[in-house]
Structure formats: C-alpha cells, structure tokens
A = this chain, B = another copy of it.
Amino acid sequence: MPDRRLRPRRALALSWQLLFGRPLRRSELAKEQITPFEGLPALSLDALTSVAYGPEAIIVVLAVAGVGALHLVFPITLVIIGLLAILVVSYRQVIDAYPGGGGAYAVSRANLGTRVSLIAGAALIVDYTLTVAVSIAAGVGALVSAFPSLSSATVPICLGILALITLANLRGLGDTARAFLLPTFLFIVGIYVVIVVGLIHPLARHAPQPGHSLISSHTVETVSILLLLKAFSAGCSALTGVEAIANGVPLFKEPRAVRAKRTEVLLGVILGTMLLGLSWLAKIWKIGPRSGQTVLSQIIGISLGRHWAYFVISFAITIVLALAANTSFGGLPVLASLLADDQYLPHVFSLRGDRQTFANGIWALAVLSGALLVAVNGVTQRLIPLFAIGVFTGFTFAQAGLVVHWFRQKSAGWRRRAAINALGAATTAVATLIFLITKFTGGAWVVVVAVPAFVVLFMRVRAYYERVRKVLNLGGVPDRPIPHGVFVIVPVVGVSRLTERALSEALSFGGEVLAVTVVAEANENEDPGAEIRRQWDAWNPGVELQVLTTDYASVVHPMVGMIAELCDRRRENVVVLIPVILPDKSRFALLHNHLDFVLSNALRHRDDVVVARVRLSLSTLEEEAAPDKPAATTAKTPSRGN
C-alpha cells in the first residue's frame, strides 16, 4: 500500500536523481590526482582567464587621461608581471610549507592567530563570491562582444551559466575536470596565435572595428601618480587566482609538492607572457574602450579579422571564463566546511550532500554570486574594484603567515624563504592599500563593510555553539533518564474515524487520555456543546471529552490555556496528540488541518509540551472501507484501527 501512495514522490525523486545524479558512496568519492598539465584547467583557469579583464581594467582607467595616456598600459603591465613573479615564488614556498593545502585561512590560523584567520576567511568568502560573479560576467561580456544582439539578455545568460555550474558542482565534478583540458588548450593556443599574428601581420591594424570609441577627444584628467596607481590597482585583478594551486596541493599526484610547484611556474610563465603580448599589442594599436566591445575582443578582431577564428576564440574565452568560476565552487564549500568544523559557521555547511559534495556551501555561493550579478546588472567593470581587495588581503595574510612560519621553523634556508614571503606580503599589502584608497568610494567600501560583518558573524556563531555545548553538557555524562508517565490531550473537532484513530494512538501511550473540543457560545440560552456531547456519549469511546466554550473566535486560545494549566497542575509529561488528515495530493492539505497549523504553531515555543501528530491517510482509509478487500490483507496501518 505505501508504494501506491508514494508513487508521485518516487517520480519526483527520480527526476531529482536524473538532474543531480544518484547518491554516491563515500568510497566512490574519486580521489582525482592530477598532473601539472591537468592542474592548469583544474586550478589555474581563474588566473589565466584574468587576461580577459586585467588589461581592459588598466585601459579603462587610462582612457580618462585621453588617447595620449593609452601607451602607459605597457609599463604598468610590466610592473604587474613583476608582482606576478614575486607571488609565484612566494606561493611555491607556501606549497613547501603547507603541502596539505588550506589557503590563507589555514596558514593564518596556524601562524597569525584566530582573529587574523577569521579576517582571512571572511576575505576569502568575499573573494570567492566575487570571482564567480566576475568570471561569469566577463565570459558573457566576451560572448556579447562577439554577438552584440545578445546584449539585452546579459543578466539571464549570466544566471543560466551560474545555474549550470552550480548543477555541475552539486553533482560533484569528479573526473569531468579533465574535460576542461580541451577548452583550456584552445584558449591558451588561441591567445598565443592572436599575439603572434598581431606582431607579424602588417595589415592587422587597419581592420575596421564595430561600436564607437568611448574615449573622449579632449583630455579630462592629466596623467597623475594617482591615476597610475589606480591603473595599477585595476590591473592587479589579472593576478587573482594565483593562490588556487597552493590551496589545492592534495589534488596532485605524488610527489605532490613538486608537481604543484611545477604547475605554479607553468601558470606564471603562461600568464606573464600572455599579459606581456596583449599589453604590447594594445599599446601599438592604441586600443581604447569601445561600446559593446571588450579590449580583448578588439585585439583579437584586429589581429585575426572578424572571421571564424575570431568567433572560435571568443567562444573558447566564454567557456573558460565560465569554467573559471568553478575554481570558487571548489574553494568556498571546503572553506565553509572548515569554518563550520571550527564552529564559526552553521554546522549545515559541514554536512555532505547525497553526491558527497558540500551541497549547502555550493548553494550559498550560488545564491550570493547570483544576487551580486543581478545587483550589478552583469557588468564586470563594477565588480573588479571589489574583487581584487579580497584576493590581495588573502595574499597578504598567507605571505605574512608564512614569514612567521619560517621564523618559528628555522629550517634550512629559512632566512631566504622568509625574505621572499616578506617581500610578497609587503608588495601585496601595498597593493591592497592602494585598492582601498583609490577604489574606496568606487565600491571597495562594500568589502570593508562585508569582511568585518562576516568576522562578527563567525564569532557570534561560535559563541552560540559554545553556549549550547556548555548547556547541553556535551561530552559529560548526563543524569539517568527517569520516566514520569504521560497525560495525553487529543484536540478533536467531532466524532469520526480520525478521532477514533487518534484516541487509539493516545490510549497506546499508556497514560491518562483527555479529548478536548472547543465550541462557540450560542447567543440563545442553549448549551452549545450539547450536540457533540450527545454524539460522544452515543459513541462512548472510553475517553472523557472536555468541551470548552468560548465567546471569542479563536478555538486555539482556550485550548492553549487549558494545556498550560494542565502542564502546571499535572505531574505527568503532557503530550498533545493532533489528529491530521493526510490527503493523497498535498494541495488538498489547504482544505483541512487548520487546527494542526494553528495549534502546533501556538505551542511551538513551549518546551513543557510534547507535540505529536497522528496522520491518517485518506487513501488508506478508503481501501480499508472497501468491502471487497479484507482489512487483514492490507499493510499494518489499516489493521491498527480495527
């Protein structure tokens, strides 16, 4: 019988499984171990795809000073590449020191204390959320540059891609990570082809461009130190994601640290040369911001012409940018589970879902970044100032933590290592400060507000869990449980088979049972409870019926009052057993069970009453009532009431 009743729910569960995949055993959780070349698509897409928005961010800032300032994109990029080199060397040392992975939160927790690690954790959460939004918005930006007719659908396309990535992560990416290899390869080769063709092709610079230039003909601002700093800090967004390899060391094949360090160098070289080439082309072609065209799209268009190769590369960029968002989906749920393990976030974040993924963290990230995409209307430019601050705060803490680490360890060559990490910490700290100062009013204040807010959240959650642990005496030995007997109250609305079932159940509890009903006071001088008392006596179920009368409309208030009074008076534990009809279609629940809704809601905050529901399925009862089916052949439930 239950099978038949549960059929619609089975169908639902089945389509759920089609979407998310069947539940996985813990032992099936493939420990995908990757090589340096596989490390690029798995952990470096966030960094590599920065070339799609890094140079653009510089040029947008420089454009304020007119066409004459555009050539500065090249020297600024050189400085950024220098910073990249420092970061790569520094993070190779992070890999040496923390081959177990963990990122800025783990490093600073071990070396810089709880407070700093919480700031690092908060900055990482902000960073991960922004990475998803920036990556997807940039990917869709590239797509819209290639197909301008899509521009009105930017936000829906962004959310669609976010939904797909979320779904893939809820399934658990598993070995699909290797499927990332092809688009990554296409992307890297494509960008190199663009650079090489651009450098050698004599006609390239004369190709016409769609859209109109957004640069003003007259100079709005002179080239000041502040402008250069702004351009530098904007360009630093190209460095975000360099930390991901160090966070993911356990994913590599043994010898892990060696392979991870190799991947870090590989990333540094590829990212550095791509930035170098693209910024040189931008300089010699005097690329400025154009409406509906990203800087990268302009460079590809001039270099290759707007032919099939342009569209193939644009499409590859869209795909890898979207896949880059995936880096965060690997990172944030793990971080949230670590924070939850440390009692800083709700424990739900440390529970694994059916697919062995940290599903709640994935949902949280999807909701946060989706809200952000809608808030900024899918425009990358507005997100980038917010984006780099979280990343660079993480950089700084990780490097600073390492300095402390080397000082404590004093292992071979520690002075050199500490010096490199100190240089990294100092440079990224300066960059962070520049971001904060130059971008504060441009939106960076959001990060300055969000990070402390997260830290306060962490600490309040922790304080609450500590209190619960103490109050519940977790880990201690509690007193022995002592039974007291029960007094069962059954609220009824009339005499029916539902009432019969509820009383059977109540009598099974072995204590005293009292049925309660509420009737409205009649206007005339007649007894309003006479009718139900007559029916009750005719039935004579062996349980007393208390009829409460009320002059008010609510039937719940008198019941709650009586229950409260009984709780005070009786020595036994009071159980309120609410009879509930279980309709075969859940929409029919609207048609009854009001008493259940309002009474259980009114008792929700009482800890001296056990609220229980006895459910009676309409279809089970119908089978029971059918004369051609003897009750004995049905499942256990129906036989109970007889």
Interface residues of A (CB under 8 A from B): 2, 5-6, 9, 23-27, 346-348, 351-356, 461, 464-465, 467-468, 471-474, 477-486, 494-501, 503-511, 520-521, 523, 538-543, 551-554, 557, 564, 567-568, 572-573, 575, 577, 581-583, 588, 590-592, 594, 605-618, 620-622, 625, 635-637, 640-642
Contact = CB atoms under 8 A, between A and B. Distances in A.
Contacts of A25: 551-552
A557 B543 CA distance: 37
Given A347-B592, A608-B636, A608-B637, A481 B500 contact: yes
Contact of A468 (B353, B478, B581): B581
Task: List the 5 closest A-B pairs by CB distance, nearest first.
Answer: A510-B510, A612-B612, A483-B507, A481-B503, A352-B553
A347 B577 contact: no
A557 B17 CA distance: 15
Nearest to A348: B594
B351 A505 contact: no
Contacts of A464: 583, 588, 591
Contact of A497 (B27, B472, B485): B472
Contact of A567 (B472, B564, B625, B636): B636
A29 B477 CA distance: 58
A496 B478 contact: yes
27 contacts: A2-B606, A2-B608, A5-B605, A23-B552, A24-B552, A346-B591, A347-B591, A347-B592, A353-B553, A354-B552, A464-B591, A472-B498, A478-B495, A478-B500, A480-B539, A480-B540, A481-B501, A481-B506, A481-B543, A504-B573, A509-B509, A577-B610, A582-B605, A607-B637, A608-B635, A609-B615, A612-B612
A607 B497 CA distance: 14
B354 A625 contact: no
A480 B538 CA distance: 11
Contacts of A26: 520-521, 523, 551-553
A99 to B, nearest CB: 20
A592 B551 contact: no
Contacts of A5: 605
B356 A553 contact: yes
Given A551-B25, A610-B505, A495 B510 contact: no
B497 A509 contact: no
Contacts of A540: 480
B485 A618 contact: no
Contacts of A479: 497, 500, 641-642
A117 to B, nearest CB: 21
A591 B464 CA distance: 9
B472 A485 contact: no
Contacts of A614: 610
A471 to B, nearest CB: 5
A471 B641 contact: no
Given A351-B594, A468-B592, A500-B479, A23 B640 contact: no
Nearest to A483: B507
**Of residues A352, A495, A540, A567, which shows the largest number of chain B Cβ atoms within 10 Å of its Cβ?**
A495
Give the oligomeric copy count.
Answer: 2
B465 A568 contact: no
Nearest to A576: B612
B636 A620 contact: no
Contacts of A620: 607
A488 B617 CA distance: 21
A485 B500 contact: no
B497 A471 contact: yes
Contacts of A467: 618
A591 B465 contact: yes
A81 to B, nearest CB: 43
Given A26-B523, A474-B495, A510-B510, 6 more contacts: A472-B497, A478-B500, A482-B642, A486-B509, A577-B610, A611-B613
Nearest to A554: B354
B607 A616 contact: yes
**Of residues A482, A506, A542, which shows the largest number of chain B Cβ atoms within 10 Å of its Cβ?**
A482
A78 to B, nearest CB: 49
Contacts of A582: 605, 607
A485 to B, nearest CB: 6
A590 B497 CA distance: 38
B640 A541 contact: no
Given A484-B640, A641-B479, A605 B9 contact: yes
Given A592-B347, A614-B610, A637-B608, A27 B551 contact: yes
A23 B471 contact: no
Nearest to A551: B25
Contacts of A352: 553
A554 B356 CA distance: 9
Nearest to A600: B613
Contacts of A9: 605
Nearest to A26: B551
A464 B584 CA distance: 11
Contacts of A588: 464
B605 A541 contact: no
Nearest to A461: B591
Contacts of A483: 504, 507-508, 510
A507 B564 CA distance: 22
A349 to B, nearest CB: 11
Contacts of A496: 472-474, 478
A619 to B, nearest CB: 9
A510 B481 contact: no
A481 B504 contact: yes
Contacts of A581: 468, 472
